[in-house]
Structure 1
Amino acid sequence: MARERLVTAAGGVVWRRRSSAPRDPARSGAAEGTARRAVEVLLVHRPRYDDWTFPKGKPDPGEDLTATAVREVAEETGQVVRLGHPLPDARYTVSAGPKVVSYWVARSTGVTDPPFTPNKEVDELRWVRPRKARRLLTYEHDIDLLEAFTDLRDEQRHRSRTLVVLRHAKATAREDWAEGDEWRPLAAKGKRQSTDLVDVLGAYGVKHVVTSPAVRCVQTVQPYAEHSGRTVQLDERLGEGTRADSVRRTVDALLDRKKPTVLCTHRPTLPWVWAALDLPDVDLAPGGGVVVHHRKGKVITTEPLGRPQPVAAPERV
């Protein structure tokens, strides 16, 4: 039996508000249908294949697919994006074998870095309304992806907000630490985990960093905060000695924030976080997390934090 090589990639349905559309349809008197149509998506033309598709690409060795999606969009289009609601994987076969492409709704931040220059991989970009995108797209799996995006748009779920719930990374064992538990630091593995979180949290454009004051929690988010220039906000209500009503107040406040936020806490505190979000318990491993996509205080969907690359396809007889 042979094991087929699995080709993996990641990308995004990049969208922006249509510049000619009113920013507040209710005030302008525009119909709700107009608000739903007031977005454009970004397509790329690849001269090698003479096709129109969504920006995507293969991961670098060891790269998380969320980071791949953001990097590839930037490399192909110059657009700086932040990931939102996950979209269905696209699965098809190429000459090298079966291929799986992971996609997310990717909101343009309005920043280009660097500005797009036509090249041998992508020679043209087009911002188009979804109806025109359907006519331009070359592949059926991309049309399916567009329909998944427009379904979200029709319910305004493409504009979901993001809260990352994170358990602190691997800490020094209690029996190996003689001082107060509040000061127990990360172990060597935990420090590596905290470094790995930098690109993953960056893919979601996290702006607010909120954590238990315990050293092991602070150290988990510190590399990301330093890399992104964010301030770490300490919240005693996320500590181990907290209460359910205190955790709920913190979670409710974070759901009101428009900007993507990460919350870092302890395993004993997590059940109260899930209860505040009206979600079933998730037993996270150290350094593990859940990305909660929400809108108007209600959870829309969740996904595991990070998307490791699949290693191989099922064995073929």
Structure 2
Amino acid sequence: MAREQLTTAAGGVVWRHRASPSSEPGDSRRVELLVAHRPRYDDWTFPKGKPETGEDLAATAVREIAEETGLRVRLSHPLPDTTYRIAGGRKVVSYWSARTIGPEEKFKPNGEVDEIRWVRTGEARKLLTYKHDVELLDAFAELREDKAHRTRTLIVLRHAKAKSRDSWSGDDLDRPLNGVGTKQAKTLTPLLSAYGVRRVVSSPAVRCTQTIEPFAHDIKTFLEIDDRLSEDTRFADVNRSVSAMLDRKKPAVLCTHRPTLPWIFDAVGADTVDLKPGEGVVVHHRRGVVMAVEPLGRPSA
């Protein structure tokens, strides 16, 4: 018997605020969702697509949305995967709530999508062709009820693989990444970009700063050094550092050490995750409440 083929893809329920002149007082901002028409299938659906070789699904979602609709987005609260049958096997599509960022360019029809529409939830339900997309719409609507579609983002990252303590004779703060760690650091850039990270904070240890320097350089921002995220720290200091980051609107990433992680998660209000070198978690929070926690990275294979 032939083995069933599994195809992966990623996309998003893209939303924006649009002022409505007919809105009631106190409800001057309404949520509109983007749906796309694909001439090849003559269907209405949410933008999505397959990953490129070696591409993480979070990066796939952002790239595919841009290619199909011309919109730049950042991912926020994850949505349920959809699974359905295709010729030769199953297709699993990972989705996120995706908010538009930057100026919106005029849509240009392309080989995948020939029309997009910004619609309210009820209109989207009428337009969508597939049952699994309607179920995805319902999941987004539930998030919106709790305003969880508007979560802020904090990414907690353990530094990439460093040279061993035994092989390093200098100050431990100066211990750098090894070859594996350097490669890990480079792979983080598209992942952090997918979540729209704009603030980059690190322990003063070189192995931490080297982990997120490539990303800070890529988005042309300063790398903030915070002694309170070092191995030689106290819970009270960690708590103050994390609390300040949670209060900011900008999506942020912090890079720290394994011994410090339990205090980080405690300060965030999330369960502790035992991260390997170079691994991270994405914390979606709103007004001091954690709404969702997901691994940083979903390999496509």
TM-score (norm 1): 0.92
Whole-Å Cα distance in 1 between the matches of residues 68 and 110 of structure 2?
A: 9
Q: Within 5 Å, which residues of 2 pair with 1:1-317?
A: 1-20=1-20, 29-30=25-26, 34=27, 38-112=30-104, 115-310=106-301
Whole-Å Cα distance in 2 between the matches of residues 226 and 90 of structure 1?
A: 35
Whole-Å Cα distance in 2 between the matches of residues 254 and 119 of structure 1?
A: 40
Deviation at 1:111, TM superposition (A): 3.0
- AA partner of residue 96 (structure 2): W
**What CA deviation, in whole Å up to 9, does each residue of 1:19-55 have, x standing for no partner?**
3269xx9xx833xxx47x8100001000111100000
Regions of 4+ moved over 2 Å: 19-22, 110-113
Whole-Å Cα distance in 2 between the matches of residues 277 and 225 of structure 1?
A: 23
Whole-Å Cα distance in 2 between the matches of residues 38 and 279 of structure 1?
A: 31
- Contact 1:7–1:96 (CA<8 Å) still a contact in 2? no
Q: Which residue of 2 aligns with 1:314?
A: none
**What CA deviation, in whole Å up to 9, does each residue of 1:79-118 have, x standing for no partner?**
00000000000000111420000000000114346x4211
- Contact 2:68–2:110 (CA<8 Å) still a contact in 1? no
TM-score (norm 2): 0.97
Unaligned segments of structure 2, at least 5 residues:
none
- Contact 1:21–1:38 (CA<8 Å) still a contact in 2? no
Whole-Å Cα distance in 2 between the matches of residues 142 and 126 of structure 1?
A: 15
Aligned residues: 301
| Identical columns (%) | 60
3-state SS in 2 of match to 1:83: strand
- AA partner of residue 55 (structure 2): E
Q: Which residue of 2 aligns with 1:313?
A: none
Unaligned segments of structure 1, at least 5 residues:
311-317
Deviation at 1:175, TM superposition (A): 1.1
Q: Which residue of 2 aligns with 1:315?
A: none
Deviation at 1:291, TM superposition (A): 0.2
The alignment's C-alpha RMSD in Å is 1.5
**What CA deviation, in whole Å up to 9, does each residue of 1:139-163 have, x standing for no partner?**
0000000010011111111000000
Deviation at 1:274, TM superposition (A): 1.1
- Contact 2:174–2:207 (CA<8 Å) still a contact in 1? yes
Deviation at 1:279, TM superposition (A): 2.0
Whole-Å Cα distance in 1 between the matches of residues 175 and 181 of structure 2?
A: 12
Whole-Å Cα distance in 2 between the matches of residues 120 and 70 of structure 1?
A: 18
- AA partner of residue 288 (structure 1): E
Whole-Å Cα distance in 2 between the matches of residues 302 and 195 of structure 1?
A: 23
- AA partner of residue 239 (structure 1): S
Deviation at 1:182, TM superposition (A): 0.1
**What CA deviation, in whole Å up to 9, does each residue of 1:240-274 have, x standing for no partner?**
10001100000111100101000100001001001
